[in-house]
């Protein structure tokens, strides 16, 4: 896909952060964009910010963890705007993880996997059949994380394992579409190369009551990127950050190249991944990943 003019793009988690930045970048390149999110007020405000720029952007509230909600979204998109060409399964959450894996609660896993894993699956099942059927070509882009796809940070067992699942689902989707000789292509997006300035650390704001966090769980000290920077600085580590707009620009450039891996270079993370792979190949002891 060498340009986005006239293409219809659907972006989950589009009210803020990477999703919003991708939507803005696509619209500026001539795409018709549908932003969807579970946060109604934030979504409406964000969409208005783009329509005020005379960009072709629309919005629809949807819950990626609910398959019926995603099916309704797909039907609405097709009936109102026609064929979808770009599907960004971008919505994601990060539970406030502080406990060892044997002390975590089922609610934490169900909430994170419901959004991060089932959300991607629901997006695929709601949109890909019609994308294959219309014959105009297209691309599915799933947002992942090196924490899970390449290395496994022991501090975030739930988030890590959910993103490992996203990596596997995306790879299988690519291979199955190729086997089906479909003209729908697949990419996997790793926002970075550094911690991205998004609201991911405050994702608990969207957590449903029926999957509430254990009230006896310890309070997490990090609820923003600024909190993370301050904590790392107190440990003598100066973290770098990446703006969502940088992620969006890199993502669109890589899509134009038809790349599967949309993964900016981060030397420390890549070395940690190489160390892990080396331990697999040599059957040596698994190292503790050091990315700082």
pLDDT, tens digit (0-9, with 9 covering 90-100), for 188-245: 999 999 989 998 888 888 899 999 998 888 888 787 888 777 877 788 888 888 999 9
How far apart, in whole angstroms, are the C-alpha atoms of residue 292 and residue 286? 18
CA distances from 207 to 29, 38, 40, 92, 176 (A): 34, 10, 14, 11, 33
Is the model's pLDDT at 292 over the cut of 80? no
Q: Say if CB 100 and CB 156 are below 8 A apart.
A: no
Q: Exactly one of 159, 185, 187, 198 is catalytic; which is it?
A: 159
Torsion angle of C-alpha atoms 239, 24, 159, 221, degrees rounded to 10: 50
> Rounded mean pLDDT of the chain?
94
* Enclosing H/E stretch for 140: strand 138-143
Domains of the chain with bracketed CATH: 8-266 (3.40.50.720)
Is the model's pLDDT at 52 over the cut of 90? yes
How far apart, in whole angstroms, are the C-alpha atoms of residue 159 and residue 155? 9
Question: Residue 232: what pLDDT?
Answer: 73
How far apart, in whole angstroms, are the C-alpha atoms of residue 284 and residue 28? 50
Region 60-88 average pLDDT? 98
Q: Say if CB 87 and CB 127 are below 8 A apart.
A: yes
Question: Residue 244: what pLDDT?
Answer: 95
% of residues, the chain, pLDDT over 70: 100
Question: Residue 221: what pLDDT?
Answer: 74
Question: Residue 30: what pLDDT?
Answer: 97
Is the model's pLDDT at 160 over the cut of 90? yes
Q: Report the largest interatomic distance among the alpha carbons of the chain, rounded to a whole angstrom.
A: 57
How far apart, in whole angstroms, are the C-alpha atoms of residue 37 and residue 14? 6
What pLDDT digit, counting tens, does each position of 90-114 carry? 999 999 898 899 999 999 999 999 9
C-alpha torsion sign, points 209, 213, 215, 219: negative
pTM value? 0.95
Is the model's pLDDT at 18 over the cut of 90? yes
Torsion angle of C-alpha atoms 167, 172, 177, 180, degrees rounded to 10: 180
Q: Is 186 helix (H, G, I), strand (E, B) or coil?
A: strand
Question: Residue 195: what pLDDT?
Answer: 87
* DSSP 8-state assignment for residue 5: T
Q: Say if CB 169 and CB 142 are below 8 A apart.
A: yes
How far apart, in whole angstroms, are the C-alpha atoms of residue 239 and residue 289? 16
Question: Residue 199: what pLDDT?
Answer: 84
Question: Residue 1: what pLDDT?
Answer: 81
% of residues, the chain, pLDDT over 90: 83
CA distances from 291 to 151, 163, 195, 285 (A): 10, 17, 11, 18
Question: Residue 235: what pLDDT?
Answer: 80
Output phi, psi for 39, to 5 deg.
-90, 95
Is the model's pLDDT at 72 over the cut of 80? yes
Output phi, psi for 177, to 5 deg.
-65, -35
Active site residue 159: yes
User: Residue 96, Cβ neighbours under 10 Å: how many?
Assistant: 20
Length of the chain equals 292
């Amino acid at each position: 896909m060498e340009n986005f003019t006239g293409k219809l793009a659907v972006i989950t988690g589009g009210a803020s952060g990477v999703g919003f930045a991708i939507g803005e970048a696509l619209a500026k390149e001539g795409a018709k964009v549908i932003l969807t999110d579970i946060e109604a007020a934030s979504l409406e405000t964000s969409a208005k910010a783009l329509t005020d720029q005379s960009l072709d952007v629309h919005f629809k509230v949807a819950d990626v963890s609910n398959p019926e909600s995603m099916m309704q979204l797909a039907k609405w998109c097709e009936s109102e705007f026609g064929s979808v060409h770009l599907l960004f399964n971008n919505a994601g959450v990060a539970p406030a993880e502080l406990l060892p894996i044997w002390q975590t609660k089922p609610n934490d896993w169900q909430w994170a996997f419901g959004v991060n894993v089932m959300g991607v699956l629901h997006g695929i099942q709601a949109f890909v059949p019609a994308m294959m059927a219309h014959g105009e070509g297209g691309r599915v882009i799933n947002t992942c994380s090196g924490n899970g796809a390449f290395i496994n940070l022991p501090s975030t067992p739930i988030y890590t394992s959910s993103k490992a699942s996203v990596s596997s689902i995306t790879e299988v989707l690519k291979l199955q579409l190729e086997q089906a000789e479909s003209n729908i292509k697949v990419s996997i997006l790793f926002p970075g190369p550094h911690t991205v300035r998004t609201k991911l650390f405050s994702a608990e704001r969207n957590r449903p009551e029926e999957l509430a966090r254990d009230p006896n769980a310890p309070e997490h000290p990090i609820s923003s990127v600024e909190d993370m920077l301050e904590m790392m600085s107190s440990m003598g580590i100066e973290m770098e950050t990446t703006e969502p707009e940088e992620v969006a620009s890199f993502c669109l450039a890589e899509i134009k190249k038809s790349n599967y891996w949309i993964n900016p270079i981060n030397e420390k993370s890549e070395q940690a991944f190489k160390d892990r792979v080396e331990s697999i190949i040599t059957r040596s002891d698994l190292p503790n990943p050091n990315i700082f």
